[in-house]
Every structure is written in structure tokens, then in C-alpha cells.
Structure 1
Amino acid sequence: MAKWNALSEEIAAARVSGDHTKLLEHVQAGLQMLKEIGATNAPIQCECLLCMEASQAHYQMAQYDEALQCAEKARESLLRDSKAELQDKAQIAEIEVFMGFVLCKQGSHSAAVEAQELLQKVLHWIDVDAKSAMPMQAVAAVNLRRSVLTGLGLSTTVQATTLANKGETAEAKVLYAKGLDTLIEALNHHIDENDFELVKMTLEGILASFEGLDDVSQAVATCRKYISWCRRHNDAGGVVDGEAMLTALCARRKIENPLEVEKAKEAEEGKK
């Protein structure tokens, strides 16, 4: 087990430093080691964990096809050679939620529809089947539900955007409104749990929905919420991203950027 512990530490160090290429090298070494010694001599769910590390690294590098392939391998490792009643349904659901986010990032209409179908399946498991599952799985299901809501909202918004790009404006607006409702519900849960990353991701979807609905004032307000959320959590990079989102929105909509107005006022007051 010493080798596995050392590998685990190397993977964790690469993850913390943000060296995704190095992390993928460690994962390959781990998968090779697993092949040589066999699953029975490796830590539990070892193949699944290695594949998900690789999937998340590819996701961070915006390599969404590779991220999806690795997540599918992780899921397959949990489904393979195990009876249905012994499968870790909560772990499978977590992987499928991540797959839903990856599909949304791919950006095509078909990928967004696939994400929606996958996430609806997970939501059914959470709301129906998980209630009679083992206590730990039932708790995991409750915690996962708000992530599923964000995924469903994003998948609807991506579908809306692809329709809008084809000029199907009326159909797009129906979907933007539907996605917005789901995303706002998810956002409230994420804020209650102080889930930093999911709040950011959900706000990005809300911004796309408001702009798709031509509600520019709410789109501006959403950018400002994003900036203030990042500022509150000392995320300087997030503040820069939020300001860039607002600047791009104002340029697209040909409106005055409120941040520039405020900076001008501050400069004026500083002269007094």
C-alpha cells in the first residue's frame, strides 16, 4: 500500500498546484500499476477514483471530450462485475452529475439534451429510489440534489442558446425562462450552503438566461452579484472574471458600464 499512498500524495500535490498535465501522468502511472497487480490488491474503487481525477483535470483544461470519456470509464468500473443491489448508487449518481456538467460545456444542442436526460434520471433516483437506500446513500442523494438542479438549468439554457443562434427566438425564450426558474431555485440552496463554486457556475447560467430573455437590467445585476460574491470570498480572479463579464455584456448591449461610471465618480470625489 506504500506505493498507492505515495501516488495518492503525488496526485494531491499536482491537483493543489494546478498542474493538470503532471496529474494526468500520475493517473496513467496508477492505472498501469493497477493493471499489473490487479484490482483485488489495490485500494477500493481505485480505478474509479483515478479515472475521475483524470476527468476533472481534462475538464479544467477545457478538454471536454476527454473529460467525458474518463468519467464514463469511472462509471463503468463501478457497474462492471457487481450485482445491482451492491452497486454504489450514490457514487454513480455523482459521476453522472459531473458528466452532465461536461456535456453542457460541450455546448451543442444534442449534448445539452443528453445532459438533461442523464440528470433527470439522477433526479428520479434522488427523489424516489434513494429514499429507501442505505442511510449514507440517502444523505449523499440529498446533498447532490442542488447540483442536479444547476445541471438541469444549465442544460436547458444551452439548448435555448443553440435555438437562439438559429433564429428560433420564441422557442429559445420559453427555454430560457424554464432554465432560469431552475437555476434560481438551485442558487438559493447553494447560497444557504455557502457553496462557492456552484454559486459562481449558477450565476453564469442565470446571466445567460436573463440576457436571452432581453432583461438587461437583471443581467447587469447578476454580473454585480457575481463580483460581490467573489469579493466576499477573496477570489481576486473571480472578481476580474465578473468585471469582464459585465464589460462584455455592456458592449454587446451598447449600454453604459456601471463600473466605469462608479470609477469616474470616485475619481471626481477624490479631486475635491
Structure 2
Amino acid sequence: MGEQCFIPFTGRIDYELIPSELNNPFVLITPEICKIAAKQLQDYLLNNQLKWKHNFGFSEHKNNLVKGKMFGVLVVQSKQGELGFLATFSGKIQDDPHPKIFVSSVFDVSSDDFFINKGMTAITEIGVLIKALKEEGSKESLIEAKRLKEVRRQNSVSLQKQLFDNYKFQNREGTVKNLCDIFTEYDGRNPAAGAGECAAPKLLQYAFEHEMKPLAIAEFWWGKSTKSEDRKHKEFYPACNDKCRPILSFMLGQRF
């Protein structure tokens, strides 16, 4: 298999476990074949996480911020007919570049000459200037600080829209749309912050781009539980509503 993110199963898979169609990602019924894929991925995480910077909360040798992550597996059939799965995580991890077996973000940070990095730097610089003007404390400086706050807000809104325009997803039929269009057509709202970086959309995007047939999907939490205990180590969870429902509805051609 030529695709570096395609992971073959290490053990034999019974034919009866191969689903005839993709499960609903918003219903917490985890297909058995996904449990097998998840266990294989979890073994990989256990064996390799000491090599990574990201601290999931299991290593006494790491003193950086502890942060668990949602991981996803998508069981697929390749265009050559091979059975395996894809894996990735939601958001970002502290390792750059991340391990190559994981499907990458749909958004390429180098787009348009690294516009997102340059834009964030400019916004940060405005923030530094606002702080200095407030510390100065004169009437003129406070008026200027207020003006710059509005400039920063407008720049932030513009930059986020440009970012969402660069998140482009492909559906089963090969149609491509950006996040702004997907959310507008779904329910008339703007994309939620962080939309497009969850595991499920990233996995499906890779599968469609590489002509793989999605068979089963599941997501699980890996790492220290959240403070509210709504995410626990190794437990499975459905796709999120705010960020994923409009995207997956478009990608799978079914309004969830």
C-alpha cells in the first residue's frame, strides 16, 4: 500500500466484522472493527509517546502542560481492495512535525505565504501596543488604545474568515466546499471556532482524496481526564455537534 497514513491490521479480521455501510458518527455505538483498530492504535501510543513532546499525563519525565486528546480511527478499504484503517487526533499536538502515521490537518499553514502566522503575529503586536498605551495612561493614549482594540477585532474577524475559506472539504461525490459555505448552507451560521480540526472530518477527507471506502468510524479519548470528567481515558465518544455536524453532513451527503 503506497499511502503512508494507511495502517494495515496486525491481526486477522473476521469477514463478519466488516460493516456494509458507515456507521452514524453521532451515535455512540462503536463497531467491533473500530474497537480492534483503536486497540492497535492505543498500543502504538503506549509504545511511542515517550518519544514525543506532547504530555498526555502518563510520563514522570515530562513537565510540560498535560493535555489529553481525542483520537479517531476510520476503517477503510483502499482502492486496491486492502482492509486497514486511518488514524489522527483532534486539534494539534505539541510535536511538529507530528508522527507520519497520523492524517494531517486539512489546512496547510504554508498557504498564501503563511498568511495565518503573519496575521497572528500582527494581531499580537497590536495587543502589545495597546498594553503600552494603557500603561501610559494619558487621555490621548487611552483613546488610541480604544481605537486599536477595534482594529485588532476587525483584523481578527478578517483573519478567521480567511482561515475558514482555506479549510476545504470534499464529499463522496468529489464536490469541494470551504467551511464558510458548508456552515452557511447547513443552518446559516458562521463556523464554530476550531471547526475542521476534529478527527472525523480529517479522516474522511484523507479517505475521499485517496479513493478509499470508509467502512466504520470511532473516536476515543487518550490521556488525563478533563476536569469536568466529561472525557475519560480510552472511552469512546460521538462526533461533536457544533463543529462536526455541518461538515460531516456535507461530506457524507446526509443531514445529521
Compute the TM-score of the two structures, normalised by the length of structure 1: 0.26
More helix per residue = 1
More strand per residue = 2
Name which structure has the greater RCO, CA cutoff 8 Å, separation 6+. Answer: 2
Compute the TM-score of the two structures, normalised by the length of structure 2: 0.27
